């Protein structure tokens, strides 16, 4: 592709993206693909001759669009959202066009410094405590790919601290007796991260939760006390602000107080809900953060910054660096040795890294946070309105508190009725819901978070759900 061809093809692709996002709401939300059906449409062997770009673009329409789940669709109510926005798409493109590797300050100074400024800007916009800013003595933040990676980094920092760094020298031998705590409502990535860090199931305590699916802190205290009296070492407590199943909020301040009395690191996973703090009236989602050791939230869910963009802050960057920095000769630099420059490779699992902060920089400068604030307010209001419709119907129960934008709905006929409803609704391909189980009750999770979702989409989909739900179970009032 010559530079001139690149210009022409690039313009065509931008047009294609704008058209796609303009019409995504007219498409079915899900595909009819079955495993292997897309492979069957592709040649088994790489092409022997080359083709014009138009042909490839054409196959986006022919092969890709009919065979994806349209996460940007206004009737997408499954999982949590993965919003994008035009300035963020352009930020991705600029990152691709610059093609830098930002692993160290010296490998691309602007990549590092713009990123650290974006972390400070976002800490300010979210109203996060001072201790996470670079201006504080020990804090700072980094863009991670995902909340899963952020949690793993927090676990590794906690493990380094709990073993006085011995984990780096003697490995597993230093980890005997380490114990981690979370509720059953914590995201699966927490257990996965612990497993990767060499902390097995027997070293993980599932702390009971209350009726609202939030951690029972008295139980946490008892479990940590028991473990310590048995000679074990509590080292890590995962708290969740906005659980994936029901958007429950653990009592961060109280839990952190207890965890610190017992010597453990406290990480708060707010992948979905933390972004709500962009809106002043929802800033309560930050309650207690001034007491925690690390924190993560995902602009790639509810802020319109393209995946991947997780923001991870710690108040103890020396523990993170202790766990993750390695300095082979080929990575030494004067900037690092003489000026204390940030080498972000020491803040994450991989070495290489993209210029992801451009997505935030472009978006914050050209649109600011008003569109995100407006969207968040609208989604929360729609969720509250939907809850009224659900109550008025009489066939359903709301299974969990819904302070933000997730409503968990159970059919009064029981789990089989709820499960069958979800299957019937999803089979229409006009919308998509995910199912979860809350203390043995099957629920339809209605997550209102896609950028293009407005009142009419929720209202129409609610009618669809009503039309496909079984009648009121006999004998239940």
Q: How far is the CB of 146 from ligand PLP (least distance, A)?
A: 3
Binding segment for ligand PLP (CB under 6 A), chosen from 140-148, 173-181, 368-376, 432-440, is 140-148
When the beta carbons of 175 and 180 are compared against ligand PLP, the nearer one is 180
Query: Could you give the CA distance from residue 25 to residue 453 in angstroms, rounded to a whole number?
Result: 9
Give the residue among 202, 190, 204 at the shortest CA–CA distance from 243.
190
> Between 259 and 285, whose beta carbon lies closer to ligand PLP?
285
Q: Do the bridges between strand 265-269 and strand 294-297 make them parallel or antiparallel, or are there none, so unpaired?
A: parallel
- Residue among 433, 472, 466 nearest 80 (CA): 433
Minimal distance in Å, beta carbon 433 to ligand PLP?
16
| DSSP character at residue 42 | S
Task: Please tell me whether residue 446 adopts helix, strand or coil conformation.
Answer: strand
Q: Which of 271, 360, 376, 422 binds ligand PLP (CB under 6 A)?
A: 271
| Distance (Å, whole) CA 392 – CA 74 | 24
One residue of 223, 272, 285, 315 binding ligand PLP per CB under 6 A:
272
187 binds ligand PLP (CB under 6 A): yes
Return the number of the residue (108 or 243) whose C-beta is nearest ligand PLP.
243
Q: Which of 122, 147, 156, 406 binds ligand PLP (CB under 6 A)?
A: 147
Least separation in angstroms between residue 97's CB and ligand PLP is: 25
Query: What are the residues whose beta carbons fall under 8 Å from the beta carbon of 118, sequence distance 6 or more?
Result: 143, 357, 360, 361, 364
Nearest CB to ligand PLP, comparing residues 84 and 421: 84
Q: Cβ neighbours of residue 437 under 8 Å, at least 6 residues apart?
A: 245, 443
Nearest in space to 152 (alpha carbons), one of 180, 115, 184: 180
Interacting residues of 277 by C-beta distance below 8 A, sequence separation 6+: 126, 127, 128, 283, 285, 286
CB of 334 to ligand PLP, least distance (A): 35
88 binds ligand PLP (CB under 6 A): no
The DSSP-derived string for 372-427 is HHHHHHHHHHHHHHHHHHHHHHSSEEE-S--SSSEEEEEETT-HHHHHHHHHHHHH
Of these, 30, 183, 238, 240, which contacts ligand PLP (CB under 6 A)? 240
Q: Name which of 271 and 458 has its Cβ closer to ligand PLP.
A: 271
CB 250 → ligand PLP: shortest distance, Å? 11
CB of 428 within 8 A of CB of 464?
yes
- Using left for φ > 0, alpha for ψ between -120 and 50, and beta otherwise, residue 414 falls in left
- Order of all β-strands in the sheet with 441-447: 396-398, 406-411, 441-447, 434-438
CB of 426 to ligand PLP, least distance (A): 20
CA dihedral 221, 222, 224, 228 (to 10 degrees): 130
Q: At what angle do helices 317-324 and 147-162 cross, to 10 degrees?
A: 90
Q: Which region among 174-182, 266-274, 318-326, 431-439 touches ligand PLP (by CB under 6 A)?
A: 266-274
Which of 120, 221, 269, 343 is in the footprint of ligand PLP by CB under 6 A? 269
Q: Give, as ranges, the residues between 278 and 337 that touch ligand PLP (CB under 6 A).
A: 298, 310
Cβ-based nearer residue to ligand PLP, 175 or 279: 279
Closest separation in Å from C-beta 225 to ligand PLP: 27
Binding range to ligand PLP, per CB under 6 A, among 141-149, 157-165, 226-234, 456-464: 141-149
- Considering only 72, 95, 148, 286, the residue that binds ligand PLP (CB under 6 A) is 148
Question: Cis omega before residue 308 (within 30°)?
Answer: yes
Q: Does 246 engage in binding with ligand PLP (CB under 6 A)?
A: no
Tell me the torsion sign for CA atoms 190, 192, 197, 202.
positive
Min separation Cβ 241 and ligand PLP, Å:
8
Nearer to ligand PLP, 25 or 145 (CB): 145
Residue 189 as a binder of ligand PLP (CB under 6 A): the answer is yes
The candidate with the shortest Cα–Cα distance to 119, out of 90, 144, 89, 95, is 144
Closest separation in Å from C-beta 197 to ligand PLP: 16
Tell me which of 75, 163, 217, 244 binds ligand PLP, using CB under 6 A.
Answer: 244
State the residues that interact with ligand PLP by CB under 6 A: 80, 146-148, 187, 189, 240, 242-244, 269, 271-272, 298, 310
């Amino acid at each position: 592709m010559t530079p001139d061809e690149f210009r022409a093809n690039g313009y065509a692709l931008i047009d294609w993206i704008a058209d796609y996002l303009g019409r995504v709401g007219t498409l079915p939300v899900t595909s009819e693909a079955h495993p292997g059906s897309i492979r069957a449409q592709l040649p088994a062997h790489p092409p022997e001759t080359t083709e014009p770009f138009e042909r490839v673009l054409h196959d986006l329409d022919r092969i890709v669009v009919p065979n994806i789940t349209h996460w940007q669709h206004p009737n997408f109510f499954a999982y949590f959202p993965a919003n994008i926005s035009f300035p963020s798409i352009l930020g991705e493109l600029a990152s691709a066009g610059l093609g830098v590797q930002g692993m160290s300050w010296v490998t691309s100074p602007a990549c590092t410094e713009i990123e650290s400024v974006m972390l400070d800007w976002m800490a300010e916009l979210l109203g996060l405590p001072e201790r996470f800013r670079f201006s504080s003595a020990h804090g700072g933040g980094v863009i991670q790919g995902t909340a899963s990676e952020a949690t793993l980094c927090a676990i590794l920092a906690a493990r380094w601290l709990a073993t006085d760094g011995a984990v780096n020298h003697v490995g597993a031998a230093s980890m005997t007796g380490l114990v981690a705590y979370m509720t059953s409502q914590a995201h699966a990535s927490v257990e996965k991260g612990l497993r990767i860090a060499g902390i097995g199931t027997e070293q993980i305590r599932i702390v009971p939760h209350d009726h609202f699916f939030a951690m029972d802190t008295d139980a946490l205290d008892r479990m940590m006390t028991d473990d310590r009296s048995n000679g074990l070492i509590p080292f890590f407590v995962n708290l969740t602000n906005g659980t994936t199943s029901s958007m429950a909020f653990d009592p961060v301040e109280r839990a952190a107080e207890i965890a610190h009395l017992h010597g453990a690191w406290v990480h708060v996973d707010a992948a979905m809900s933390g972004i709500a703090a962009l809106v002043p009236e929802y800033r309560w989602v930050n309650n207690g953060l001034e007491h925690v050791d690390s924190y993560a939230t995902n602009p790639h869910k509810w802020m319109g910054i393209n995946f991947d963009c997780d923001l991870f802050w710690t108040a103890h960057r020396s523990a993170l660096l202790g766990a993750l920095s390695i300095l082979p000769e080929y990575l030494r630099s004067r900037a690092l040795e003489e000026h204390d420059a940030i080498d972000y490779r020491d803040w994450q699992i991989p070495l290489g890294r993209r210029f992801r902060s451009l997505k935030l920089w472009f978006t914050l400068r050209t649109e600011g946070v008003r569109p995100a604030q407006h969207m968040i307010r609208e989604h929360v209001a729609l969720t509250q309105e939907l809850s009224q419709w659900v109550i008025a119907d009489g066939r359903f129960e709301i299974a969990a508190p819904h302070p933000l934008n997730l409503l968990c709905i159970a059919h009064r006929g029981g789990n089989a009725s709820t499960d069958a409803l979800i299957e019937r609704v999803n089979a229409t391909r006009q919308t998509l819901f995910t199912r979860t189980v809350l203390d043995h009750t099957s629920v339809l999770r209605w997550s209102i978070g896609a950028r293009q979702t407005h009142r009419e989409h929720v209202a129409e989909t609610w009618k669809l759900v009503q039309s496909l739900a079984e009648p009121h179970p006999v004998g239940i009032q």
